[in-house]
Amino acid sequence: MTDFLLTSLILFGATLISSTFGFGNALFAMPLLTLLLDISTATPLFGLVGPTISSIILARNWQRVEVASAWRLITTTLVGIPIGVWLVKQVPNDLITQGLGLCLVGFGLYRLGNWQLVKLEAPAWAVPFGLVAGILGGAYNTNGPPIVIYGEMRRWSPAEFRATLQSYFFPAGLGILLSHAAGGLWHGYIFQLYGVALPGILVAIALGGWINHRLSVQRFQKLLSVLLIMLGALLWL
């Protein structure tokens, strides 16, 4: 019973973060889930949750997706994934994850200082950012940060930021979910945990959407900067 309650609370918190900001659920949830459950349960469980969140947010907000950036990000990420798979065999895990953590903390502090990054006018800039995201995703399942930085430099509004990120994460999450199924990682206990947590996940999606639509651009960017610092620090744990 304790596992069900704690799992539900973790997934509620992860979903609330994702629904409000558009990303961050995996970096929040996975370290906590692996402390509570074994990795063979935590990984496919979150594989079910990710596409659930993305599909619902995307279905309700597809009009706000910046399509010109989204398809470029998805395509180039797919190109970068095999490079990341190769890279993970060449570079120590800690070196990459801690380096990424430093970049997130530095970027968050930079944003809190009210300095403005160069604004990217052309959607074609999605190509290098998507490629880097694919490399990081293929190596360490951390494809989100480059996409977040790209969205910041494109000056997406909070609603556009949230919707476009979900249009990117949904196909990626669906592919992960199907790979877990094909790999035989699904079992009954996962679906029990998912079923118990699902009502809280749905509430968190609605609550996060309500918060997102009421955040000013300035407030959203400040909270996003704080979240980046926190998630960057998690990569050092």
CB environment 139-148: b (16+ within 10 A), e (fewer):
bbebbbbbbb
In this structure, what token pair is assigned to residue 103?
């970049």
Count of domains for the chain? 1
Structural domain boundaries enclosing 90: 2-234
Is the pTM for the entire model greater than 0.85? Answer: no
CA distance 207 to 215: 13
Helix/strand/coil for 208 = helix
Place of tokens 């990420």: 77
In this structure, what token pair is assigned to residue 120?
């990217």
User: Along the 237 residues of the chain, how does pLDDT read in single tens digits?
Assistant: 688 999 999 999 989 888 888 777 777 787 788 778 877 788 788 888 888 988 888 888 888 888 888 889 988 988 887 887 677 567 666 666 677 677 778 777 876 776 777 888 888 889 999 898 888 766 666 677 788 888 888 888 878 888 888 888 888 778 778 777 877 878 889 999 999 999 999 999 999 888 888 877 677 777 777 877 887 787 676
CA distance 153 to 149: 6
Residue 113 DSSP class: T
In this structure, what token pair is assigned to residue 157?
């509004």
